[in-house]
A = this chain, B = another copy of it.
Amino acid sequence: MLIDNKGSSRQLVEKCITCPGMRHCLPHGLKGNEMERVSDMVKHRRPFQRGEQITMMGDEFTSLMVVHSGFVKSYKVSRDGEQQIVGFYMSGDVLGVEGISTGNYGYTAEALETTSVCTLSFRNYEYCSSHFPVMQKWLLNTMSRQIIDEQKMLLMLGKMSAEQRIANFLLDMSRRMSASGTSIQTIRLPMSRIDIANYLGLVVETVSRLLTRLQANDILIVKRRVISIMDLNRLQAIADNSIEDCHPLHHAA
């Protein structure tokens, strides 16, 4: 039998089927009894605390993981020790798919705040997918979306100015952090400036400088990790590099 949820040995176990956030993790379109079958295969572990590692680059790939709540960063380490953050993950995002082809996790994933993760072993996934076509479609969609997002990042890192990168980053975060697809005005960034800089291929000083500048131009209000977007249109214009630019900081503001 493939079902191996020996949950009772751990705290905080609940079935997906009774979980209020179920629609974030499980694919839509499962029939009632299918849902129950899948639900039984998903493990709910004790939440990870800030700084804890969820996967380690190079470890054996065993499971797909869906972020249920919290916030995760993932980074690769190059041969000479340079780190590059390759993604931030929040509710509903899937970790680990890069391990399918190699059998090893391709990055280290680390919780940026208390994070709970739902785990489905790949063997169980394969069992599900062969019985419930919707599961198969779900994973293909997930991976296809990851490919698109990474290609968008390639465009950012390859062609965009520091200011464009920051603007796009803030817009993306604002959009993703709202439950719906519409961006929200005030966001609390769970990651440090160092992480933002690393993700965007910049240094931390540049991120600081540009946030200050965007604030001086009345586009943002920045209070450490809490950022309010005061002029969405201009921020979007900067992100798209369309016409109007943000004035550099002349020392007389």
Residues of A at the B interface (CB closer than 8 Å) are: 76, 78-80, 82-84, 86, 97-102, 106-107, 129-130, 133, 136, 139-148, 150-155, 157-160, 198-201, 240-242
What are 20 A-B contacts defined by CB distance under 8 Å? Answer: A76-B152, A78-B159, A78-B240, A80-B242, A83-B159, A84-B155, A97-B147, A99-B144, A100-B144, A101-B141, A101-B142, A101-B144, A106-B147, A140-B143, A143-B147, A146-B147, A147-B150, A150-B151, A154-B157, A157-B157
Report how far A130 CA is from B143 CA in the complex, Å.
Answer: 18
Q: How far is the CB of A71 from chain B (nearest CB, A)?
A: 19
Q: Which residue in B143, B145, B155, B157 is a CB contact (below 8 Å) of A82?
A: B155
Taken together, the copies of this chain in the complex come to 2
Hey, which chain B residues are within 8 Å of A82, CB to CB?
A: 155, 159-160, 241
Q: Which residue in B98, B133, B136 is a CB contact (below 8 Å) of A147?
A: B98
Across the interface, name the chain B residue whose C-beta is closest to A142.
B101
Report how far A159 CA is from B160 CA in the complex, Å.
Answer: 15
